[in-house]
């Protein structure tokens, strides 16, 4: 079975230059943890994970001690940073050298790279163009549920 047989064909994506608020909105609406990122010409450049968005809001030790020093302060900074980050562009958070698969690849090939590298959702790219994504759920559905 090939990747193209089971992939999600209309992936949630966002373009370079978009704001973090926009990214959070897409994540929320699409209910996927990983957004595909395209450049201004519509070509695939990488991915943006909700994990990185959240991590960017977590304060470090010095941030906390600089603002009161208690855990409650740390929790407050977390919220403040979220607000502050919202208007910035997503570009610095985009992971660019991400693993991809082609639509004609065998499913197992995709499964192996996902498990070994802890990837939850793989971009399916055909000659530089994003044509879909393949999630672990897609794999389970195709290989186990429909078997």
Partner 1 sequence: MCALPATLGRDSGAAAVVLDDGTVSRRHARLEFVDNHLVLTDLGSSNGTYLNDERVTRRVLVSGDRMRIGRYELTWTFIDPETTALVDPGQLTMLRPVAPPRVAARRVVEAAEAHNRRVGHELDGFLSLAHGFLPAEPPLLAFPESHRAWDEMTDRLPDLFRRLSLRRAFDAMPVLDARPAALPDRYLLRASTLLGVFAHAYQYMVTDPPTALPESLLRPWTTVSRRLGKKIPAVSYIDLFFYNWRLRDPAGPRALDNMDLLVPTWNNAAERVFYLVTTEFAMGLTPVLGAMLDAQEAVVADDPAALESALLVILDRLQHVTQAIYPQIDPNPRARHPLDQVLWAKTVGTAGVPIFDGAPSPSGTAQPQIHAMDAFLERRDYGSLVGQQSVYLAGFFPRHWQELVAALREVSVRQYVEDTRNSTLRGIYNAMLDAYVGDRGWMGLHRIKAYGFLEVAFKVGRQVTTGARFTGLFKDRTWDKVDGELAVVREERRPPVGPPVAFGTARRGRVVTGESGAWTCYLEIDVTGQGVHHLPGDRVGVLAENDDELLRRTVAALQATGDELVRLTPKWRAAVAYRAGYGEVDVLPLRTLLRFAQLRPIGREVAKRLVKLTAVGPWQRVVDARMEDQWELWDVLNLLYAGGYDVTRLWKADPQEDDAFCAVIPPEPFRLYSIASAPPPGQPATTLQLVVAGLDYTSARTPWSYPRERQGTASHFLRRASVEGRHRLSLQIVSTPRFRLPADPARHVVMFAAGSGIAPFLGFVAARTGSGENRLYLGIRTPEEFVERTDLDAAAAAGRLKLSVAFSRADAAIEFDGRRHVVQAGQRRRVDDVIRAEADALWELLRSTDDGGRGAFVYVCGSARFAVSVLKALTDIVPGDGREFLRQLVADGRLGEDVFTTYMGHAQQGPRFEVSDLAQHTTSDVGYWMAIGGAVFDVSEFLHLHIGGPHIIRNHVGLDATAAYRKVLHHAHAEIDAQLSMYQIGHLRRLQFGARWGVGLTEDGLHALPLEELFRTWVRFVYLLVGMENALTADYGFTTSVTTLGEDPRELTPFKAQYVLEAHRRFLVSYLDGLVHEELRTLWQLTVGFCDPHLDIRSFDIDLAAMSARSDVGLVRRSVSAVKELLLAGDDFRQVTALCRIYPHVDVQLLRDLKTAVLEGIQAFEIHEADVVEQAGATLLNAAHEALAAVSAYYQRLAEQTRGQGITADGAVEEAIPVDRGLPGHGGPLPLPD
Footprint of partner 1 (CB under 8 A) = 58-61, 64-65, 68-75
Contacting residues for 108 by C-beta, under 8 A, at least 6 apart: none
Distance CA 126, CA 60 (A): 40
Nearest to 48 by CA among 79, 24, 81: 24
Query: In this complex, which beta carbon is closest to partner 1, that of residue 31 or of residue 62?
Result: 62
Query: In this complex, which beta carbon is closest to partner 1, that of residue 55 or of residue 120?
Result: 55
In whole angstroms, the minimum distance from the beta carbon of 54 to partner 1 comes to 12
With residue 73 as reference, give the H or E element that holds it. helix 71-85
In whole angstroms, the minimum distance from the beta carbon of 139 to partner 1 comes to 19
Query: In this complex, which beta carbon is closest to partner 1, that of residue 41 or of residue 62?
Result: 62
Distance CA 7, CA 132 (A): 6
In whole angstroms, the minimum distance from the beta carbon of 143 to partner 1 comes to 18
């Amino acid at each position: 079975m090939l990747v193209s047989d089971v992939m999600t064909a209309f992936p949630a994506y966002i373009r370079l230059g978009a704001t973090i608020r926009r990214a959070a909105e897409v994540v929320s609406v699409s209910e996927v943890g990983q957004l595909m990122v395209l450049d201004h010409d519509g070509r695939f450049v990488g991915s943006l994970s909700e994990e990185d968005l959240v991590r960017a809001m977590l304060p470090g030790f010095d941030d906390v001690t600089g603002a009161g020093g208690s855990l409650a302060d740390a929790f407050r900074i977390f919220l403040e940073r979220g607000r502050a980050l919202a208007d910035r562009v997503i570009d610095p958070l985009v992971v660019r050298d991400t693993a991809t698969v082609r639509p004609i690849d065998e499913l197992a090939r995709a499964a192996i790279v996902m498990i070994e590298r802890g990837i939850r959702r793989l971009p399916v790219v055909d000659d530089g163009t994003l044509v879909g994504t393949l999630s672990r759920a897609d794999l389970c559905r195709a290989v186990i549920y429909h078997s």
